Amino acid sequence: MTMTRNPGAAGPAAAAELLARAREVAPLLREHSARIEEARRLPQDVVDLLRDAGVFRMAFGPELGGPALTTMEQTQVVETLAHGDASAAWCAVMGASGGIFSAFLDERVAKEVFPTPDTIMAGLLQPTGRAERVPGGFRLSGRWSFGSGITHCDWVTSGAFVYEDGAPYASPNGSNPHESKQFLVPRAQVEVIDNWHTMGMRGTGSCDYTMDGVFVPEEHTYSFGKVRGRPGPLAQPDAFTRSMCGVALGVARAALDHAREIARTRVDRMTGVAWKDHFRTQVTLAECEADFLATRNGVYSSQRRQWEVLAAGGTLDDLTPEERAASPIAWVHAFRTSRSIVGRLFDLLQTWSIHQSSPMERWMRDTTTMCQHATAQDRILQSAGAYLLGSKPEFGICLGIVK
């Protein structure tokens, strides 16, 4: 498989080094933001920049050559990248998910699929495809939407319902009347449909993609109900969603920094009063900063508690209901609060926000768009609320519940 990473670049071996590289890359991503948006995908040199920085390897364990960053460390990296460009940070989260999915594969297969921890993953987990059982594996067909990073990835993971002889296939243990699985396919066997024309997050290249009867060996399939590789805090069905809100937090931080910088130097043209001396400017910035700090703390405190329990050998069931619900509640709140912060700062800066030359214009579109993602929807809150009440979660995977 062709890899785009600079073969002379050594990957970071520890979280501190990877985070330092992300900080170096972020200003470069800001410089490339217009190109990224115009291309509606990450240009290849930007992909190479991220791969050389090592961000795609952050979730891989040492058995596959990765640094095994904690959820908190991964979120920090994502935040840092998003301070430069939201689309690049989003693609980093998605591309790095292979390190999490590898825990659900046999180690031999994982080493085959991921010969280097810089291998990039993309795809849609929802089972919108159809997989017909055949000798040795499956024939996979279907069309999947929102394949963030599909234009530059190495492997594609796709959810599909399983059929046998044309009929729905039931799990042998009777746990599921119509079984669904995840299927790993090399990117070269996938057809990408260039239909990513959106209001925001334009650079993610989240195009639809199709397959028609692609053969997938049995060993290249997995489900989140069975850990086959290294167990641990990342070998959990909710692990791939935990750090996504880092994109929203990074954008909100960038907007706060931008607004403060403008407020320090701007003078009201009608009154001659410096913006930094305006009551409205002071209160708005303070309110937004307070919301950011509280929201960010909620994300990291819930992540840390979850990680403590899992790293000590416990399970998600060892968390109290409040602790278990805290992580999805916090990440939804992070998406929505970040959008609110950007909106209030947009209004504060008034007409200086509306030009395409202003980063506020892009941040407004990006935060509005990312809040439409499944991880920022009411179904996540419903699931957490239902769990707290002992009722039925609609989207149990956000709580680590797999049917």
Structural contact between residues 102 and 337, judged by C-beta atoms closer than 8 angstroms: no
Closest to 176 (Cα-Cα) out of 159, 161, 157, 164 = 161
Structural contact between residues 77 and 93, judged by C-beta atoms closer than 8 angstroms: no
Coil, strand or helix: which one is 206?
A: coil
What is the rounded distance in angstroms from the CA atom of residue 155 to the CA atom of residue 170?
27
Residue 13 burial (CB count, 10 A): 14
Percentage of residues in the chain having pLDDT higher than 70: 97
pLDDT computed for residue 356 by the predictor: 81
By CB atoms closer than 10 A (0-12, 13-18, 19+), residue 142 is: buried
- Write the single-letter amino acid at 390: G
Instruction: Give phi and psi for 178, each to the nearest 5.
Output: -140, 100
Six token digits for residue 83:
């301070």
**Is the pLDDT confidence value at 118 over 50?**
yes
- Write the single-letter amino acid at 315: T
Reported as a single tens digit per residue, the pLDDT across 91-117 is 999 999 999 999 999 999 999 999 999
Reported as a single tens digit per residue, the pLDDT across 65-74 is 999 999 999 9
Sequence-distant contacts of 305-308: CB under 8 A, at least 24 apart: 306/71, 306/233, 307/70, 307/71, 307/72, 307/233
pLDDT computed for residue 398 by the predictor: 84
> What's the rounded mean pLDDT across residues 135-143?
98
Q: What's the gap between Cα 114 and its chain centre?
A: 19
pTM of the predicted structure, to 2 decimals: 0.94
Distances (CA, A) of 47 to 83, 260, 306: 17, 31, 32
Distances (CA, A) of 192 to 89, 143, 161, 172, 200: 21, 10, 21, 34, 20
What is the rounded distance in angstroms from the CA atom of residue 61 to the CA atom of residue 194?
34
Higher pLDDT, 394 or 282: 282
Residue that is written with structure tokens 């399970």 in the block: 315
Residue 163 burial (CB count, 10 A): 17
Structural contact between residues 4 and 51, judged by C-beta atoms closer than 8 angstroms: yes
Six token digits for residue 349:
């800066």
What is the rounded distance in angstroms from the CA atom of residue 21 to the CA atom of residue 10?
12
Six token digits for residue 79:
């935040």
pLDDT computed for residue 147 by the predictor: 97
By CB atoms closer than 10 A (0-12, 13-18, 19+), residue 216 is: buried
pLDDT computed for residue 401 by the predictor: 80
pLDDT bracket for residue 10 (50, 70, 90) = low
**Of the listed ranges 152-161, 166-175, 177-186, 189-198, the one predicted with least confidence:** 166-175
pLDDT computed for residue 8 by the predictor: 40
What is the rounded distance in angstroms from the CA atom of residue 61 to the CA atom of residue 50?
19
pLDDT computed for residue 403 by the predictor: 63
pLDDT computed for residue 383 by the predictor: 94
